[in-house]
Amino acid sequence: MTFVQVLSGRQPAIAVPITATTAAALEAQVAAVCVSPAAIAEWRLDAWPTVSTALAKQVVDRLHAAGKLLLVTCRTQAEGGAFAGDSSAYVALSQRLLALGPDALDVEARFAAPTITALVALAHAAGAAVVGSHHDFSATPALATGQALLSAQATWADVVKLAAMPQVPADTLTLLTLSAWAKTTLACPAIVIGMGALGQLTRVASGAFAPALTFASLGQSSAPGQLSVQAIVGIQGASV
């Protein structure tokens, strides 16, 4: 199944992070992903953007051999990641990794239109889906603002994502409402996630409120409030 198809199921697909900064840690994390229940590995290249092409190719091949899909993400400092390069460096890194055959590329919606257009073209030429993403680590947008953000991303992305930091319980309800709206309004899968303790409900929501993809940890989380993959699988099993 393609990346978009996997995100179109009744239950949210599960992605687990690869955040290694050394070859030994990368080996351990990839091995853990390959035997995990997760369908998708999200490789956070911002943790190690200088990884060699040869080693990166081994990772892609191992994950695919294990039946896992690969989402390549280079999260910038502006959106909570470690990547400090400019947009040209971001495009260059994405182009190098896309040549190895990942299934999807995360593209931050904050980039200028020419950069987004270039990244989308590169991803689609490589046969990869595009996840348009927006992150807010300080607040949760109002419902109308969130709808506008996701609608704008849907004009160029195959999958849309909005991750925000709830400050009060009402913010969590806003995100759940946004997720339900996206399911019935947008033509593409939508990932609406709340970070931190207040956002955990959005990570395990089901039915009308479920995100297309939920991010879980295999020991080390890549975002605040992330639950373990075992916890997510257990909750999903209980809701069947």
| pLDDT reading at 1 higher than 60 | yes
| pLDDT tens for each residue of 13-45 | 999 999 999 999 999 999 999 999 999 999 999
pLDDT at position 238: 47
CATH architecture of 3-239: Alpha-Beta Barrel (3.20)
Q: Of these residues, 64, 68, 135, 183, which one is catalytic?
A: 135
Phi, psi of 141 (to 5 degrees): -65, 155
CA distance 178 to 185: 10
Is residue 122 predicted with pLDDT exceeding 80? yes
Look at residue 240 in the predicted model and tell me its pLDDT: 44
Mean pLDDT of 131-149: 97
pLDDT range class, residue 224, cuts 50, 70, 90: low
Q: Are 161 and 133 in contact (CB under 8 A)?
A: yes
Of 62-66, 184-188, 233-237, least confident by mean pLDDT is: 233-237
**b/e per residue, 131-148, with b = 16+ CB within 10 A?**
bbbbbbeeebbeeeebbe
Is 101 exposed, middle or buried (CB count within 10 Å of its CB: 0-12, 13-18, 19+)? Answer: middle
Report the sign of the C-alpha dihedral through residues 90, 17, 168, 107, in that order.
positive
Q: What backbone phi and psi angles, to 5 degrees, belong to 109?
A: -70, -10
68 is catalytic: no
Segments making up each domain of the chain, as ranges: 3-239
51-87 per-position pLDDT tens digit: 999 999 999 999 999 999 999 999 999 999 999 999 9
Is 237 exposed, middle or buried, given 0-12, 13-18 or 19+ CB atoms closer than 10 A?
A: exposed
> Strand 40-44 vs strand 159-164: parallel, antiparallel, or unpaired?
unpaired
Cβ atoms 162, 146 nearer than 8 A: yes
CA 80 to CA 192: how far, in whole Å?
17
Confirm whether 161 is a catalytic residue: yes
Task: Residue 194: name the closest of 231, 233, 223 by CA.
Answer: 223
Q: Read off the pTM.
A: 0.94
